[in-house]
Amino acid sequence: MSLNVSEPAVRSGDLRRVAQGRRSFWATLLIMAAMLGLLGTAAWMNWLDPLEAQIPQRFQLAARIALALAPALLSLILFALLTRKNDMVSRIVFLLWLVTGALYLVTVRPVANWLFPLESWMTALWWSNLLVHFLITATLEMFLVYLVLRFGVYPGGALQTVTDGPIYGAAAALGLATTLSLQPLLAGEISSISDFALWIGTLAMGYTAVGAMLGYFMAQARFKRMHLFYLVAGFLFSTLLHTLFFVLYQAISAQMAQLPGLGGLIFAFVFALMSFLFIYWRLWLSRKDFMRIAALVEIKEEAARPRSLLEDVIHLVETQQIDVRPSPPLPPVQPASTTAAVGEIADLENSWATLIQEQEASHDQV
Partner 1 sequence: MTRFNDAFVDIEDFQPPKKWQARFSNLLVWLMVALLLTGGWLFRDWMMNQFGNLVLIEGEPTISYPAKWKPQPVAEQLFQVIEPESTAAFAPNQQVAVLPMPDEPFDLFWPEQRPTQLVDYHERSRLLTSIADGRRALLMTYSFIPQENEATRPVRAVAQDLVFELHEGEHTRMVVVTIRATEADWERIGPLAQNIWRHMGVVLP
Could you list the residues that contact partner 1 (CB under 8 A)? Answer: 1-5, 8-10, 15, 115-116, 119-125, 128, 131-132, 134-136, 139-140, 143, 146, 150, 221-226, 228-232, 235-236, 239, 289-290, 292-293, 296-297
Nearer to partner 1, 26 or 134 (CB): 134
Nearer to partner 1, 140 or 212 (CB): 140
CA distance 79 to 238: 24
Shortest reach from residue 203's CB to partner 1, in Å: 20
Nearer to partner 1, 3 or 66 (CB): 3
Shortest reach from residue 204's CB to partner 1, in Å: 24
Query: What contacts 272, CB < 8 A, 6 or more positions away?
Result: 33, 205, 206, 208, 209
Shortest reach from residue 310's CB to partner 1, in Å: 31
CA distance 267 to 152: 31
Shortest reach from residue 47's CB to partner 1, in Å: 24
Shortest reach from residue 298's CB to partner 1, in Å: 12
Please spell the DSSP secondary structure of 215-270, one letter per residue.
Answer: HHHHHHHHHS---TTHHHHHHHHHHHHHHHHHHHHHHHHHH-SSSHHHHHHHHHHH
Q: Backbone phi, then psi, for 161, in 5-degree steps?
A: -130, 165
Nearer to partner 1, 94 or 216 (CB): 216
Shortest reach from residue 336's CB to partner 1, in Å: 54
Nearer to partner 1, 21 or 260 (CB): 260
Nearer to partner 1, 185 or 297 (CB): 297
Q: In whole angstroms, what separates CA 90 from the centre of its chain?
A: 12
Query: What contacts 229, CB < 8 A, 6 or more positions away?
Result: none
Nearer to partner 1, 91 or 292 (CB): 292
Shortest reach from residue 250's CB to partner 1, in Å: 13
| Alpha-carbon separation of residue 36 from 68, 187, 194, 308 (angstroms) | 11, 23, 12, 59
| Alpha-carbon separation of residue 331 from 41, 61, 72 (angstroms) | 83, 87, 72
CB atoms within 10 A of CB 2: 4
Q: In whole angstroms, what separates CA 301 from the centre of its chain?
A: 28
Residue at 81: amino acid letter: L
